[in-house]
Amino acid sequence: MASTQLAPCEPKCPQPLASSTNEPCVVACPDSRVIIFPPPVVVTFPGPILTTHPQQTVVGSSEPAEAALGEPAAVPARLEAAGDN
């Protein structure tokens, strides 16, 4: 009986960005096949599709370090949402 090499499951996820929002991450695996005897019949089972929805997290401080030292605080730049130009 010959063995068949199947492609491994490869995740298709967006690269993390500082301004990313709730973007899905999808992993699709190849279909599975079985042969049923007698008579020979091929049945294809669809490969699973696994989906997650990572959430955006912002980490920061309520006071810039410069303000604690008595220096003027810089105005933070506005973060652009993914897809905004």
Task: Tell me the per-residue pLDDT of 4-58, one tens digit each, with 9 for 90 and over.
Answer: 555 666 666 655 555 555 667 777 888 888 887 788 888 888 888 877 777 666 6
Evaluate whether residue 77 is within a structural domain: no
Evaluate whether residue 44 is within a structural domain: yes
CA–CA separation, 29 vs 8, rounded Å?
7
Evaluate whether residue 32 is within a structural domain: yes
Evaluate whether residue 5 is within a structural domain: no
* 45 three-class SS: strand
Number of domains in the chain: 1
Identify which has the larger pLDDT, 2 or 59: 59
Evaluate whether residue 80 is within a structural domain: no
Q: How far is CA 54 from the centre of its chain?
A: 7
Evaluate whether residue 65 is within a structural domain: no
Evaluate whether residue 15 is within a structural domain: no
pTM for this prediction: 0.28
Domain that holds residue 24: 20-54
Residue 4: what pLDDT?
Answer: 56
Q: 81 pLDDT exceeds 70?
A: no
Evaluate whether residue 60 is within a structural domain: no
Question: Of 63, 33, 59, 64, nearest to 46 (Cα)?
Answer: 33
36 contacts: CB under 8 Å, gap ≥ 6? 43
